[in-house]
Chains A and B, each alone.
Chain A
């Protein structure tokens, strides 16, 4: 576990994850700090609390509730304690049933996408049979309000206008202007990337990373704006957005990139999938 104390909000409750190796008295100030920092976020609703990750006695639970209630305006209505992490339970259960956690992760992401955009998730499910290494070809321009989704990679011959939406499980190649919103690696593939002849989207998402375009500057006469600050000379050459250290960065789509490990890695992953 990376942090000794972690809070996760679910719909009507909070999950408090505690380190099992630390001394309980050392954890208390950390719990206090966490909750007072996010007091405004939780508001004053009645919440259920689930304590996970370590065995806590009744007295210790009472201490935790006291800290929460005195540092936020929440009221704790119910408490559950689990010494094991829920995640671990899930993955153990899945392993027992012979389902790999990789599939489970993809399903979970698909479930989340379904919540966000039912139509796109349905399209992804429909394409579920398609090999994840294959790419679909879409010919035509996606205008504002239209969307396209596929499970594998996507080669789009046309423009993606502002207000249009493209979602792909793999990478996205746009042979045209990319100005709308795109999500590559929608099922959690960090190595996916987005390439376009002219890359100037409002939002790019790759897996869990999100980049948004710069705000328009009122003093700036030109209506051009971009997610990425780049020298004027680079504009007009094909570009690619990739994840680097958890952030989305833009690079030229040239020989250097094609020979880079990032690019090759994206396809190594595909081969693994095929071998599986």
Chain B
């Protein structure tokens, strides 16, 4: 049975595309057949994050307009077997596609894939409506900032209004040190505000910037961020996975320093 998951946030720049790329990679590493659909027509990014930018010949608008078959537009990932990308068009805009066409496309993809992950554009306009049209469930990405949480709340309302009831929260870019000092909302605070179930917490790590720039997702590579994404993937598949201890192991000197400062 295949599932259609939309990754959305409302606010831009909170990590929807990075999350999509990592979850796709993670699920593919767990032997699932996954297609990532970039619905951000006119501002495509997912291809860059996956490092597949140079291979695009056809795109989602070509598929919808019937210029090519879905299989011709899909790009196989460089590293992961079972991971495919259906890129967005860059020279068109959101109005090139309507929700009915998206629904039909997603139904078509269901035949061949275990997971269809839709990378939603920021905002609540047509692009958002297109992206959620065919979705069974959603993953809402937010950072622990008031503005992002406010937008996420609006998005949850819109998803529920469109009959998407299975909405899970990913708190992205959590800065452990700031949280411990009470300078940043914790994941629990965010969950309390939004009152939906948490499916994962991804700590802030500079590695993710490097990974994005080089087009190599981190999921499943053993780093803390990579493990966080892998755990979200397992939870998506229905496994019970305990929440990881995000307390970063400190080096000897840092511990020593703390000892002194405590005194």
Contacts and interface: CB of A to CB of B under 8 A. Distances in A.
Interface in A194-227: 202-203, 210, 212-218, 220, 223
B180 to A, nearest CB: 32
Which 3 pairs show the lowest CB-CB distances between chains A and B?
A213-B54, A212-B54, A218-B214
Interface of A: 115-117, 119, 144-147, 162-163, 165, 202-203, 210, 212-218, 220, 223
Contacts of B53: 162, 202
Given A145-B42, A218-B216, A223-B213, A212 B91 contact: no
Interface in B78-125: 78, 90-91
A211 to B, nearest CB: 10
Contacts of B91: 117, 119, 145-147, 165
Contacts of A213: 54
Contacts, number: 41
18 contacts: A115-B67, A144-B90, A145-B90, A146-B91, A162-B53, A163-B90, A165-B91, A202-B53, A203-B54, A203-B56, A212-B55, A213-B54, A215-B54, A216-B214, A217-B214, A218-B214, A220-B214, A223-B213
Interface of B: 42-44, 51, 53-58, 62, 67, 78, 90-91, 213-216
Chain B binding surface, main DSSP class: loop
A203 B58 CA distance: 13
Contacts of A210: 57
A144 B41 CA distance: 12
Nearest to B210: A218
Nearest to A118: B65
B62 to A, nearest CB: 7
Contacts of A162: 53
Contacts of B42: 145
Contacts of A202: 53-54
B32 to A, nearest CB: 20
A215 B214 CA distance: 9
Contacts of A220: 214
B131 to A, nearest CB: 19
A26 to B, nearest CB: 33
Contacts of A144: 90
A222 to B, nearest CB: 11
B214 A116 contact: no
Nearest to B42: A145
B90 A215 contact: no
A223 B177 CA distance: 31
Contacts of A119: 91
A216 B51 contact: yes
Contacts of A217: 214
A117 B214 CA distance: 30
A173 B261 CA distance: 65
A184 B62 CA distance: 21
Contacts of A212: 54-55
Contacts of B55: 212
B81 to A, nearest CB: 15
Contacts of A165: 90-91
Contacts of A203: 54, 56-57
A202 B215 CA distance: 15
B215 A116 contact: no
B51 A215 contact: yes
A218 B58 CA distance: 26
A217 B91 CA distance: 27
Given A147-B91, A163-B44, 20 more contacts: A116-B58, A116-B62, A117-B91, A144-B90, A145-B42, A145-B43, A145-B90, A145-B91, A163-B90, A165-B91, A202-B53, A202-B54, A203-B57, A214-B54, A215-B54, A215-B215, A216-B51, A217-B214, A218-B214, A220-B214
Contacts of B43: 145
Nearest to B91: A147
A14 to B, nearest CB: 14
A107 to B, nearest CB: 18
Question: Looking at B43, B58, B67, which has the most chain A CB atoms within 10 Å of its CB?
Answer: B67
Nearest to A221: B214
B172 to A, nearest CB: 22
A145 B216 CA distance: 24
Nearest to B55: A212
